[in-house]
Amino acid sequence: MAVLFCLCAFPKVGFSAEDVQTSETIENLPPIKGIVFNDANQNGVLDEGEKGISDVPVSDQTKIVMTDKDGRYELPGAKHVTINVNLPAQWMAKPNPITGVPAFYKDFHTEDKGMFKSTGPIPKSVDFALIERPDADSKNFKAIIMGDSQLPERHFDAYAGDIVDEIIGIDADFVSILGDISSENLKSMDKIAALTYHAKKPLFGVIGNHDRDYKATEFSQSSASFKRVFGPDYYSFNRGDVHFLVLNTVLFNGKGSSYGWGCEKTQLDWIRQDLSMVPNDKLIVMMMHVPLIHKRGKGACKGLNEIFKMVEDRPLPTLALAGHWHTSGNYVLDESDGWKGKAPFYLCILPHACGSWWSGPTDYRNLPLSDQTDGVPNGWTLWEFNGTQYKCDFKPSTHSDTFQARIYTPDMRTIQYGYNGLANDAILVNAFFTYETAKLEMSIDDGEWKTMEKENMQDPFALSSFNGPYASTSAWVPVATCQHMWKGNTGKLETGYHDVKIRIPQVDGRVIEQGKVFYQY
C-alpha cells in the first residue's frame, strides 16, 4: 500500500484514559430534551401546527435515542456536548447560508474549559427542524466526495479553480471532504466551507489530523474548532438505501500535532449502537480521514477488528472511503487484513483535492499542477447510487473526464522519461482509480489483447514534475512508489505511427478503454 508521509504513532494495546472521549454527562444536571419536527414553512422554528417526527435517532456522541410518536427525545444532562440528528433518508436539514453545513447538530458549552468557549445555558428545548425531501422515496442520488483539500488561504484560488469551478454545475445531493480540510489554520475552516458552498450543495465534513486543536489537553477538546464549523467529529446520515457512517480515525495522544490512528472506545460503542439500527438491506458507506488499514499487512487502525465484527454478518458489501495519503489506492480486504465477512469489504483511498499539497510547477493559470505524488491528478469523485448499487467516476481537475490513466509509450522515453531499466519497447500505464489486483489488458493497432504485468514504480511524469527544473516544490514532498502501475511490451513494430489501447477495470465493476497514438522510430 502507499507510503504515509505524515507523522503517525503506532497503536498501543488496549485503551488508556486519554483514548476515551466523553460528553461530560453529570448526574445532577437536568436532562437535555427537545423535539425533531417537520419544518413545513422552512423557517427553522417550531410553529403552531408543525408536527414532530417519530423514530428519528438523536445522539450526544455517546448515547443514541429514538424520538417518540410526537418527535420528542431525552438525553442525559451535560456541560459540554454536541447533540445531533442522524438524518433519515427522506429528510434533510437546511444548509447554513454561508458554509453550507446542514443544521443537523447543536454544540453546547455551559462554561469555558480549555478549547471550549461558553455558549451559555443549554435551552430548555433543543429542537431540530427537518425538511421533507421533495423526492423522499427516490433511491437514486449523487454525491461529490474528495480526499484532503488541506488548504492554506494562499491557495484558495487554486482550490476555486481546480475544484469549486468544476463542481458548480454538477447535479449532486451533497459534497464531502474526507478530512484535512484546513492546513492547520483552523480559523480558516469556515472560509473553506463558504468557498466550497459556492457550488450550492450541502457540505458534510470529516475531521483530519490537520483539523485538530493541537493545544487540546484531552480528546474531546481536540475537535473543538472542527465542531464549531462542521458539527460532530463522528456521526451518520441516510440517503436512499445508503447509510453514511462518518468516523474520526485520528487518535489524540496529547502531543500537539502528533497522533495515532483508529477509533477510541466511546466512538466504537457509539458505532455499535448506530449500526444496530441499520437494516441489513441498506448499504454501509464509511467515510474517514486516516484509512482503516495503514500499510497492507503492516498496520491497522485501533478498533479495526471491532469495526469488522460489527459489519461482517451483513449481506451487502461495505465500502470505506478515506484520504490522508496524498496517493490513491483501491483494495479488496481479505483475511490477511482481518476481514472475515460474508460480503466484500472495499477500501478506497480517494484522489485528493490538493493533490501534492498544492505543489509542483504552475500551469497557464499560474496555479500549481498539484498532481499527487503517485502521478494521479488532483481532483474529486462523483458517486451515483441507485438503491444499493453504485457507480463511481474520478474527475481529474482541469482534464477531460476520459483521462483515467497516463500511458507511457516507447517514443516518450527518448524525450524526458527514463523507465528504470525496462525494455526499449515498454508500455507503462498509471491507472488512476482501479484496484491493486486489477487485470489490465493492452492491444497494439487493434491486435490481440494481452494481459499487462503489475510494476510498482515511481511515475515518470511525477518524477519530471517534482524533480525537474520548473518543479517549485518543497523538498519534503517526495515522489511515491505508484501502487497502480502496469507494464507491457509492444514487440517489434515498423517505423511510423501506431496506437495502443488499454482496458482498465474500475472500482464499480465497469471496464473502460483509453488509448494513445505513438511513433515507432
- What is 457-481 written as a DSSP string? EE-HHHHHHHHSTT----TT-PPPE
Half-sphere exposure of 327 (CA within 13 A, CB side): 28
The band of 473, judged by pLDDT with boundaries at 50, 70 and 90, is low
In this predicted model, which residue has the larger pLDDT, 299 or 423? 423
* Residue type (1 letter), 227: K
390-425 confidence digits (pLDDT tens): 999 999 999 999 999 999 999 887 545 566 678 889
Cell of 491: 514487440
Cβ neighbours of 94 (radius 10 Å): 16
Q: In the chain, where are the structural domains located?
A: 1-402, 405-520
Instruction: Give every CB contact of residue 219 below 8 A, 6+ residues apart in sequence.
Output: 18, 19, 20, 21, 252, 264
Query: Does the pLDDT at position 5 exceed 70?
Result: no
pTM recorded for the entire structure: 0.92
Domain at 1-402, CATH homologous superfamily: Metallo-dependent phosphatases (3.60.21.10)
Burial profile 200-230: b = 16 or more Cβ within 10 angstroms, e = fewer: ebbbbbbbbbbbbbeebebbbbbbbbbbbbb
The pLDDT of residue 413:
76
**C-beta separation of 190 from 167 below 8 A:** no
* Residue type (1 letter), 5: F
The continuous run of DSSP H or E covering 311 comes out as helix 304-311
Domain 405-520 sits in CATH at 2.60.40
36-49 confidence digits (pLDDT tens): 999 999 999 999 99
Q: What are the phi and psi torsion angles at 188 (to 5°)?
A: -95, 0
The pLDDT of residue 362:
86
**C-beta separation of 365 from 155 below 8 A:** no
Return the minimum-mean-pLDDT range out of 310-319, 345-354, 357-366. 357-366
Return the minimum-mean-pLDDT range out of 101-110, 277-286, 408-417, 449-458. 408-417
**CA dihedral over 107, 130, 86, 204, signed as positive or negative:** negative
Cβ neighbours of 5 (radius 10 Å): 17
Give the pLDDT mean for 149-157: 95
- What is 416-455 written as a DSSP string? T---TT--TTEEEEEETTS-TT---EEEETT---EEPEE-
Beta bridge partners of 9: 260
Give the pLDDT mean for 181-205: 96
How far is residue 240 from each of residues 38, 135, 314, 345, 385, measured CA to CA in Å? 19, 10, 18, 20, 8
Q: What is the mean pLDDT of the chain?
A: 90
Cell 445531493 sits on residue: 173
**C-beta separation of 285 from 278 below 8 A:** no
| CA dihedral of residues 365, 407, 401, 89 (deg, nearest 10) | -120
The band of 11, judged by pLDDT with boundaries at 50, 70 and 90, is very low
The pLDDT of residue 421:
73
The pLDDT of residue 15:
40
